[in-house]
Amino acid sequence: MSEKKKLHPLVEVDEPNFITEAFDYDLPPLIRFDSPVVEYIDGEPVRFDPSGVKTRDIHITDTTFRDGQQARPPYTIDQMVRIYDLMARMSGPNRVIRQTEFFLYTRNDRETLDRCRAMGHSSPECTGWIRAIKGDFRLVKDAQLKETGILTSCSDYHIFSKLKIDRKMAMERYCDVVDAALAAGIRPRCHLEDITRADIDGFVLPFVERLMEMSEQVPDELKVKIRLCDTMGFGISYPGAELPRSIPKLIYKLNVECGVPGDRLEWHGHNDFHKVHTNGGTAWLYGCDAVNTTLFGFGERTGNPPLEAAIFEYIALKGDLCGIDTTAITELADYMRSIGLPIPANYPFVGKHFNTTRAGIHAGGLRQDERIYNIFNTTKLLGRPPRVIITNNSGADGVAIWVNEFFGLTGEDRLNKIKIHRLARWVMDQYEREGRITAIGDEELETKVEELMPEYWEKYKGSRE
Amino acid sequence: MPTVEQRVKEVTARVLKLNPEDIKIEHDFMSDLGAESVQSIELMAMFEEEFGIEMDEDAALSVETIGGAIKFITMVCKEQGVDV
């Protein structure tokens, strides 16, 4: 290691280097690669080119109405239709959110599907989700869907302990259902449940090889898709991790050894170990074109890759908005909150305080240049300007930001710290003299602004009537 | 009419609750007179009110001593046509 040591002299510059090629403030920070990734698979080095995502047709799929709904009380039909409509707006003309899947079992399920399709959006395409039971195909056919997910569990935990059958019986049962789907003209999407805990060489690869053989007999639009379901969140993104947990190796085995093209591979993760978003991005990088997500990550137990995070990851990898309407994310969050879905205040991109600072020193930075403490132009991309919460740590900088936001003042009109000194003093006294230990809410501050800054209140707010 | 120095010392004494007699021209607002963050801003606000001027925030808050404040305020008054 010591032989690699080299000197790094200070580079003095006339202008600051804000590294804008990666940190264009009007986009999420770009994810740029400057080298291939080498992974050793079965002892041999395999090169992956992560920058290939810029040209590959990577995309997002959604399971808000299936896996997402398993984690909460059912949505009403109207709610699902509204969510679908906003999702379509976010998806944009490039159909970045390519598909969303629906249960088909109840009358409400089918009515929702009909109303969503009746809106005529080009994306997300509506697909179904059924058990690996032949009788369920009637539902798919009746709904006139082109594609359906089929539960094909592949770990011995599921085959032996849940289904109480052996591997051969499992494979025969699954293939019978796939045959039935193909015969019905419906594309099967096999959900390889619990793949990150499965015997890859002993079951997964033989099963997928057989599915690929079956696909050779049918037209392209019917060829089997494979969803890699990391059911318990065991997937690992790190290079060098071993199977069955290694996402790079899983995708390589299916893609290269079994011949499943990237456009027929989809990653479905769970967040039991806080790895869900990065694991989805990893799947994209190593050759899987689709990442399956739910809005705000709501899904079974700890949830799935958050759709909105995948959207920003997509833009960061592509280096362009690609026609995506990111402001729909904020509208969706507001809508979800309005129907009782709790979103933690510190939740990225949509939480009430995701771009709110409490620290006075950060507020000071924000006042000088919002880029210092704001992740990107949240006003433009999410309709959410950076904010401050007033506490004992806010300082006069924080109070000044709050007042300017409250009055909607920009540029030269913004009030400096000297002009808000009475309010800053009141805030300080709340904590130092009154012993307050809670944050000061907006309404309370508004009242104090009116009382302590009457000249500005009158100028910018007029009377309360 | 009191001088700029007297007026600066009076305002400082009022805001920081000190005796004007104890305030020296070389005193540093923070280390010698104990001004805290919000008090520095209150001082600037009171200087604006006392002299009827508008001060640039960054320039005003970079003033560290009583002598510096006298010099700065005199300059701003001159720029803004305020007799002192």
Own/partner pairs for A363-371, CB < 8 Å, 24+ apart?
Answer: A363/A388, A363/A394, A363/A395, A363/A397, A363/A398, A363/A400, A363/A401, A364/A395, A364/A397, A366/A397, A366/A401, A367/A397, A367/A400, A367/A401, A371/A18, A371/A23, A371/A25
* Token pair 């399956």 in the structure block, residue: A292
pTM of the model: 0.87
CB contact under 8 A, A424 and B48: no
More confident residue, A323 or A443: A323
Among the partner residues A395, A416, A425, nearest to B42 by beta-carbon distance:
A425
**Assigned domain for B25 exists:** yes
Residue type, A285: L
Decide if B57 and A418 are in contact by the 8 Å CB cutoff: yes
For residue A425, give the chain B residue with the closest CA: B38
Nearest CA in chain A to B47: A418
Q: Kindly indicate whether the ipTM for this predicted assembly is greater than 0.95, answering yes or no.
A: no
Give the pair of three-digit tokens for residue A295.
Answer: 């809005």
Q: Is A424 on the interface with B (CB under 8 A)?
A: yes
**Residue of A418, A422, A425 with shortest CB distance to B60:** A418
A–B interface: beta-carbon pairs under 8 A: 28
The reply to whether B84 falls in a domain is no
Question: What is the structure's pLDDT at B42?
Answer: 96
- Indicate which CATH number applies to the domain containing B63: 1.10.1200.10
Is B61 a domain residue?
yes
DSSP string computed for B34-83: ---HHHHHHHHHHHHHHHT----HHHHHT--BHHHHHHHHHHHHHHTT--
Give pLDDT, residue A465. 45
Assess whether pLDDT exceeds 90 at residue B59: yes
A445: pLDDT confidence band, cut at 50, 70 and 90?
A: very high
pLDDT digit string, tens, across residues A187-239: 999 999 999 999 999 999 999 999 999 999 999 999 999 999 999 999 999 99
**A160-194: pLDDT as tens digits:** 999 999 999 999 999 999 999 999 999 999 999 99
Contact yes or no for A184/A141 (Cβ under 8 A) = yes
Cα separation of A14 and A36, whole Å? 34
Could you tell me if B50 and B11 are in contact, meaning their C-beta atoms sit under 8 angstroms apart?
A: yes
**pLDDT the model gives residue A408:** 86
Give the per-residue pLDDT at A203. 98
d(CA A299, CA B51): 64
Q: Give CATH superfamily name and number for A37-338.
A: Aldolase class I (3.20.20.70)
- DSSP 8-state code for residue A242: P
- B52: domain range? 4-79
Q: Is B60 on the interface with A (CB under 8 A)?
A: yes
Q: What is the pLDDT confidence band of residue A358, given thresholds at 50, 70 and 90?
A: confident
Q: In A, which residues are within 8 Å of B38 by CB distance?
A: 395-396, 421, 424-425, 428
* Chain B contact for A315 (CB, 8 A cutoff): no
Q: Which positions in chain B touch A428 (Cβ < 8 Å)? A: 38
Say if residue A152 is exposed, middle or buried (CB neighbours under 10 Å; 0-12, 13-18, 19+). buried
- Determine whether the interchain pair B41/A417 forms a contact, defined as Cβ–Cβ distance below 8 Å: yes
Mean pLDDT of A295-306: 95
Q: What's the pLDDT score for residue B74?
A: 97
Name the least confident of A27-31, A69-73, A270-274, A333-337. Answer: A69-73
Contacts of B61 in chain A (CB under 8 A): 417
Would you place residue A359 in the very low, low, confident or very high pLDDT band (cuts 50, 70, 90)? Answer: confident
Domain map of chain A by residue range?
A: 37-338, 356-460
Decide if A418 and B37 are in contact by the 8 Å CB cutoff: no
Cα A428 to Cα A396: distance, rounded to the nearest angstrom: 9
Q: Is pLDDT above 90 for A261?
A: yes
pLDDT of residue A360: 66
Q: Quick one: pLDDT band at residue A1, thresholds 50, 70, 90?
A: low
What's the mean pLDDT in A82-109? 96
**What is the model's pLDDT at position A411?**
87
Which among A239, A232, A169 has a CA at the least distance from the CA of A198? A232
Does position A464 have pLDDT exceeding 70, yes or no? Answer: no
- Looking at chain A, the whole-number percentage of residues with pLDDT higher than 90 is 82
Does the pLDDT at position B36 exceed 70? Answer: yes
Across the range A19-43, mean pLDDT stands at: 97
Residues for chain B: how many in total?
A: 84
In chain B, the number of structural domains is 1
Mean pLDDT score across all residues of chain A: 94
Kindly state the DSSP code that residue A304 receives in the 8-state scheme.
-
What's the CA gap between A154 and A192, in Å, rounded? 6
User: A-chain residues within 8 Å CB-CB of B44?
Assistant: 418, 421
Chain A residue numbers touching B48 (CB-CB < 8 A)? 418
Of A418, A422, A425, the CB nearest to B44: A418
Residues 347-406 of A with CB under 8 A from B: 395-396
Is A432 near chain B, with CB under 8 Å?
no
The confidence band for B37, taking pLDDT boundaries of 50, 70 and 90, is confident
Average pLDDT over residues A304-320: 98
Amino acid, single-letter form, for residue B12: T
Q: What confidence tier does A394 reach under pLDDT thresholds 50, 70, 90? A: confident
Domain presence at residue B32: yes
Q: What is the pLDDT of residue A282?
A: 98
**CB contact, 8 Å: B42 with chain A?**
yes
